[in-house]
Structure 1
Amino acid sequence: MTRHPAFANAHSHVFHRALRARVTGGDDFWGWRERMYGVAAVLDPDLLHDLAVATYAEMRLAGIGVVGEFHYLHHGPDGRPYDDPNATGEALIAAARAAGLRICLLDACYRASGFGSAPQGVQRRFADPDVDAWAARVAELARRHRGADDVVVGAAIHSVRAVPPADLAGVAAALPEAPLHAHVSEQPAENADCVAATGRTPTALLAESGALTSRTTAVHATHLTGTDVAALGDAGSYVCLCPTTEADLADGIGPAARLRDAGARLTLGSDGQTVIDPFVEARAVEMGERLTSGRRGSFDAVALTEAATRTGYGSLGFDPALADADAFELRTDTVRTAGATEPLWAATAADVEPPQDLAYGPDEVAVLMRKAVGAVWERV
């Protein structure tokens, strides 16, 4: 056994777990999104909670100590708030606690379906009436959990296509000391639409609005200009890479080494839960660089471990030292890790020794997952 700092899953959409190995339709991100919307349409707070308990427990088994939940499934199916406007957010926080996981609940502002277009269909669940209403709701959620050692409430800009330029500064200012995350340049079409509508790239738009700072995490950041890379580095922003999801959705391979060299701080996330395995995500950063550059060795095991653990904790508003406090035992005698001097290059989540204080063991998690996923698809 060797002691390993706990991983930070810096970007998660927990309800996407219901899509794993079930939905392959759509030949690009936008086609896949329609299938995802079908799942989003049927979730209520109770079913979301049950699916999240199982998914967060799977993360815990994989050596993850904290999750950044990028949360936009706010309201009822017709867009009307629940009796508690933060019912779904509270369901996610309760699920993380049940699984023994710290959580940064990143409440995402969502105001439009695209530049100049109102939310349509299931998107009405994601949207608040205006940015002030969103800010008041998220401020109340933050107030409830202020001082908790296992919960941080942060803010998120869903994307520049979903938050009008005039509202970006308001979102950035809503929780001025908390983490601020945003989907950035995941797709070329997003960039093209942004430039056509505003004359700026998404990164430039965020920078101009004051939303690009050292507390900002740009998620994906796959399709960046050289100026974008420099802006993220100059701001000291975090960039969260989600390699398995970016591969699953045919998004592309982001410029990880260029971002690092510019001064951006890299973190990792499971995003759409294609797999929940931080070892796989970490290795994929280096492997992606090898494929695009034709060279080996852009990232060593130390750098990847730092990105996947302590830097991720910091991006979610937690003390990076908690990654060591939450450390797990990694088996070094398995068929994968035996003989390895740097286990990061060989290990998988299956090599994590389950902590003694786990609320749910592997068999129990499998039962919970089958039940929750089955319930979702009975409704879709």
Structure 2
Amino acid sequence: MSQAQSRQSFTIHAGRAFIESGSKSHWAHDVRLTVADGRIARIESGARPEAGDLRHACLVPGIPNLHSHAFQRGMAGLAEQRGNSDDSFWTWREVMYRFLDRMTPEDLNAIAALAAMEMLESGFTRLGEFHYLHHDAGGHAYADPARMCAAIAEAAAETGIALTLLPVFYAHSGFGGLAPSPGQRRFLHDLDGFARLLDGARAAVAGLDEAVVGLAPHSLRAVCPDELMHLQAMAGQGPIHIHIAEQVKEVEDCLAWSGQRPVEWLLDHAQVDRRWCMVHATHMTHEETTRLALSGAVAGLCPVTEANLGDGLFPMADWLAAGGSYGIGSDSNVLIDATEEMRLLEYGQRLFTRRRNLLADAATASSGEAIWRAALNGGGQALGVEGGLKQGNAFDAVSLDLDHPSLCARGPDRVLDGLVFASGRAGIDCVWRFGKQVVSSGRHHARDGIVRRYRKTLDRLCA
């Protein structure tokens, strides 16, 4: 399996482009970008188009999706019927356990390919896959312990999306090393088995362009303190992601176990720094929020899933005041749309504070631009890459249809507002990943075949 291929150089001319200059993003007019072997070799601003140039009205950088569970795309809409008790994350989790019970590597591959295709069509160009479905239906390791990792890598190769693979260590069902439940049997490892899984994961992604392998302690309830210390050493300088403080019950259980809240405990007992991505981090005190922001860790925010599960709202005002970085993810993949994640992120804060344009910053008055830039930079840090339209970087780019009713007649200071808050993914025309065009006129080049295979897979799993 290989994503790499012979690539020809080409030049693309954009009427306007959101490019990087030094450490800053800004709009430039009449931009010619020369792409060679998947990377941006040259950027010229104020340049006239030349014969042979590809012509597009507007280019923006593709966005990293820093948190996804690809297999959960298959259960989108299957957990929206009320049960016999109050529904919450914990009742949703039981539906998830039942859904994955019969899933094979081939099934996972078909579902992950659909998810990755939809990500690319919505402007995501790198997938951060928080991957914890490791074993067969009986809870036994496959002959290749990284077979499920390979299914994800194969989906990335088929669709063209970049991949940061985050194999998950999961050993317990609750704080203090509680024995796992039967529904968790497909996730479980000891440290030696997990080391073998990491080796297999690195082999599985070896043929992909710019692939990164990090790791993910699932949560403090699934990992004991001594295991967490070993996992930090295994990670080296690679990304470390963890679910934390997502639900109130998690906070209460952590207090009962340790006398500390989850974020408080982690900051006191782990070497939290820029390698870390704290997924959700919804329920924090002001002090925890400030300490975590100052550590350099990225907050991994997934507004669509957090709303779907009834998790709560991230303390964004305190986070930004402390200089915190954030990125966005599609998490449960109940809806895959980069602009919808961004829009709901801002709207959730508006509903909570009864104010508007809360995520605009000192660099720009544009909320859409500020969120896009934050998602680009925070997501790149969390996934171990540098993004943006900058010389030397991969050409991961999105062209916008400025004839769309919600994008026409907008100057560059308003075009991302129109995209995020009005047109959504309908305003996206083309997408390139590592110099290869994978989306044209809003459709992935392999959409029809991927959808057919997905439908067959779901027919079997839902029978």
TM over 0.5: yes
Counterpart position of 1:371: 456
The answer as to 2:398 corresponding to 1:328 is yes
Closer/same/farther in 2, CA of residues 135 and 230 from structure 1, 3 Å limit: farther
Provide the C-alpha distance between the structure 2 equivalents of 1:224 and 1:135, rounded to a whole number of angstroms.
32
Deviating more after overlay: 325-334 vs 19-28: 19-28
Structure 2 match to 1:125:
186
CA contact (8 A) 2:241 2:279 kept: yes
Q: Percent identity?
A: 35
CA-based RMSD of the aligned residues comes to: 2.0
**In the superposition, relative to structure 1, how do residues 144 and 279 fare at CA in structure 2: closer, same or farther (>3 Å)?**
closer
Q: Flag the 1:372–1:61 CA change in 2: closer, same or farther, 3 A.
A: farther
Q: Give the match for residue 67 of structure 1.
A: 127
Match of 1:218 in 2: 278
Aligned with residue 208 of structure 1, among 268, 271, 275: 268
Aligned residue identity for 2:219: S
Does the residue aligned with 1:32 lie in a helix, a strand or coil?
Answer: helix
Equivalences for 1:45-56 in 2 at 5 Å?
Answer: 45-56=105-116
How do 1:232-311 residues align onto structure 2 when only pairs under 5 Å count? 232-299=292-359, 300-311=367-378
8 Å CA contact 1:184–1:218 kept in 2: the answer is yes
Query: Residues 260 and 266 of structure 1 are in contact (CA less than 8 Å); yes or no, is this contact kept in structure 2?
Result: no
2:98 equivalent to 1:31? no
Match of 1:15 among 51, 67, 71: 71
Aligned-partner residue type, residue 183 of structure 2: V
Check conservation: 2:239, 2:383, Cα contact below 8 A: yes
Cα drift, residue 220 of structure 1: 0.6
Correspondence 1:178 to 2:254: no
Aligned with 1:102 (options 162, 165, 168) = 162
Shift of 1:227: 2.2
Deviations 1:54-112 (A, max 9, x none): 11111111121101000000111222100000000111011111110001111111010
- Give the match's secondary structure for 1:119: coil
Change (3 A) 1:220 1:256: same
SS in 2 for 1:325: coil
1:311 aligned partner, one-letter code: G
Letter in 2 for 1:348: G
Instruction: Identify which of 40, 43, 48 aligns with 2:103.
Output: 43
1:11 partner amino acid: H
Cα deviation per residue 1:1-42 (whole Å; 9 max; x = unaligned)? 421210111100111111112321451111111101111211
Give the aligned partner of residue 44 of structure 2: none
The answer to whether the Cα contact below 8 Å between 2:159 and 2:446 also exists between their aligned partners in 1 is no
TM-score by length of 1: 0.93
| Farther off after superposition, 296-305 or 172-181 | 296-305
Partner secondary structure for residue 23 of structure 1: coil
Q: Deviations 1:115-137 (Å, cap 9, x if unpaired)?
A: 23211113011001x22331342
- Rounded to whole Å, the distance in 2 between the matches of 1:350 and 1:258 is 33
Q: Please list every run of 5 or more consecutive structure 2 residues that lacks an aligned counterpart in the other structure.
A: 1-56, 360-366, 432-436
User: More helix per residue: 1 or 2?
Assistant: 1
Task: Please state how far the C-alpha of 1:345 moved relative to its aligned partner.
Answer: 2.4
In the alignment, structure 1 residue 2 sits paired with structure 2 residue 25: no
Q: Deviations over 1:289-344 (max 9, x none)?
A: 11111221221222201122233122101122478721111112224433443323
Return the TM-score normalized by structure 2: 0.77
Q: Which amino acid aligns with 1:22?
A: L
- Corresponding residue number in structure 1 for 2:41: none
Larger RCO (CA under 8 A, 6+ residues apart)? 1
**Structure 1: stretches of 5+ with no match in the other structure:** none
Kept after mapping to 1: 8 A contact 2:157/2:208: no
1:110-189 equivalence runs, <5 A: 110-115=170-175, 116-128=177-189, 130-142=190-202, 145=205, 149-189=209-249
Give the CA deviation at 1:198. 1.2
Partner of 1:350: 426
Deviation at residue 178 of structure 1 after TM alignment: 0.6
Q: Report how many aligned residue pairs link the two structures.
A: 377
Describe the shift of the 1:310–1:230 C-alpha distance in structure 2 as closer, same or farther (beyond 3 A): closer
The structure-2 alpha-carbon separation of the partners of 1:258 and 1:165, relative to structure 1 and needing over 3 Å to count, comes to: same
- Give the Cα–Cα distance (whole angstroms) in 2 for the partners of residues 229 and 117 of structure 1: 28
The higher radius of gyration belongs to: 2
CA distance in 2, matches of 1:14, 1:165: 28
- Aligned AA for 1:267? G
User: Aligned equivalents of 1:252 and 1:69: distance in 2?
Assistant: 23
Q: Which moved more, 1:295-304 or 1:271-280?
A: 295-304
CA deviation map 1:224-249 (0-9, x unaligned): 11222022112110001100110011
AA matched with 1:329: S
